[in-house]
Amino acid sequence: MRSALAGKGGGLLGGLVGGLAFLFASLGYADNRVLTLGTGGVTGLYYPAGGAICRLVNLSRQQHGIRCALRSTLGSVENLQQVIAGHLDLGVSEAGQLENSYRTSGDFGSAGSDLRTLVGLYPEHISILVRRDSGIKRFADLKGKRFNLGKKGSSQRVTLDILLQARGWQREDFSVLEELAPVEQAKALCDNRIDATLYVVGHPNGAIKEAIRDCDSLLIGLEKRDIEALVAYSPHYQALTLPGSLYSPSQPDVRTAGVNATLFTRSDLSDTAAYAIVQSLFEQFDHFRQLHPAFKPLNAEAMVQIPLAAPMHPGAERYFREKGWLN
């Protein structure tokens, strides 16, 4: 009798578990797990942007059952590689790098076609920071100087390679080359180890602010030919002006180029999960805009209108159509 009851109870329990599993799946909670979001180094804007998104997802967890976890990475290129490989669920990337990987160019392979856009975020400026005593006034002056290339696989390195190729420069044209992570670059500049470094970053940026404040560094712009080379490489690049007032009254505005940061995922993320992520962001958008000075000027509808670097995920598209932000 005892074993029969146990068997009956086990059957009832099994049926209940199965029924709950079916219910969660029908509600879209089959992805009821931790979603990992790849960002960037702690000195850049990808990290606080990803942190803000994860925070908003987690604040609304009771509504959708999803928890978001942050991962610090080297940035765009590593995020693309890790999302494609299935080691990350979400990532932040420059739109140009996202489009390249979606179109399967470079080292990403055919799986890049599985990438999907969730939403555009904010513009990133190509920002060249130099020591004031280096004599560097424009991009052409970098030749022969001590320069930081950035880490292999970083978006910084990819951007610099485009600019060097457009000018016909070789790495041997610099007197010293470093391969520093973003967190090391401002200190290397202030310690007089390098004359210049290049960031692709949203503003204001803590590391740039530190170098301008602590060791009399300044930002210089790109020249017209450099901007044209970037725009020719990818339509996601555009001419931008970086306001010097973000950093110092004595820092002039600089003309440069930029590209939008984009939150992306894979096509196998459930529609419900994709919907929940963008809903968490935009239903708490005023809160999001308060989490970093770079987010204050953002407009929700304009973020949705940013040209797509990869097709929009159907779950995100459904939310934006419900809001009336997509036709």
| pLDDT tens per residue, range 138-164 | 999 999 999 998 887 777 888 888 999
Q: How confident is the model at residue 36 (pLDDT cuts 50, 70, 90)?
A: very high
Longest Cα–Cα distance of the chain, Å, equals 92
Q: What is the pLDDT averaged over residues 66-90?
A: 93
Give 192-246 pLDDT, tens digit per residue.
999 999 988 889 888 888 889 888 899 999 999 999 999 988 889 999 999 999 8
pLDDT(23) > 80: no
Q: Indicate the domain borders of the chain.
A: 30-123+261-323, 125-260
- Whether 30-123+261-323 and 125-260 share one fold: the answer is yes
Strand partners, 242: 254
Q: State the sign of the Cα–Cα–Cα–Cα dihedral 111, 64, 260, 71.
A: negative
pLDDT given at position 107: 52
CA distance to 50, 79, 230, 304, 305, per residue, from 89 (Å): 12, 10, 29, 21, 23
CA dist., res. 300 & res. 219, Å (int): 29
Q: How confident is the model at residue 121 (pLDDT cuts 50, 70, 90)?
A: very high
pLDDT given at position 13: 40
pLDDT given at position 224: 94
pLDDT given at position 207: 85
CA dist., res. 82 & res. 65, Å (int): 24
Which is more confident, 58 or 293?
A: 58
Dihedral Cα 260, 263, 264, 269, nearest 10 deg: -160
pLDDT(4) > 80: no
CATH number given to 125-260: 3.40.190.10
Give 163-176 pLDDT, tens digit per residue.
999 999 998 999 99
The string over 47-69, giving b where at least 16 C-beta atoms fall within 10 Å of a residue's C-beta and e elsewhere, is bbbbbbbbbbbeebeeebbbebe
Count of CB atoms situated within 10 Å of the CB of 297: 10
Mean pLDDT of the chain: 86
- So what's the architecture of 30-123+261-323 in CATH? 3-Layer(aba) Sandwich (3.40)
Is the separation of the CB atoms in 73 and 40 below 8 Å?
yes
Q: Show the tokens assigned to 132.
A: 């004031």
Is the separation of the CB atoms in 69 and 36 below 8 Å?
yes
Count of CB atoms situated within 10 Å of the CB of 187: 15
Residue 202: partners with Cβ closer than 8 Å, 6 or more residues away: 44, 45, 49, 122, 123, 124, 125, 261, 294
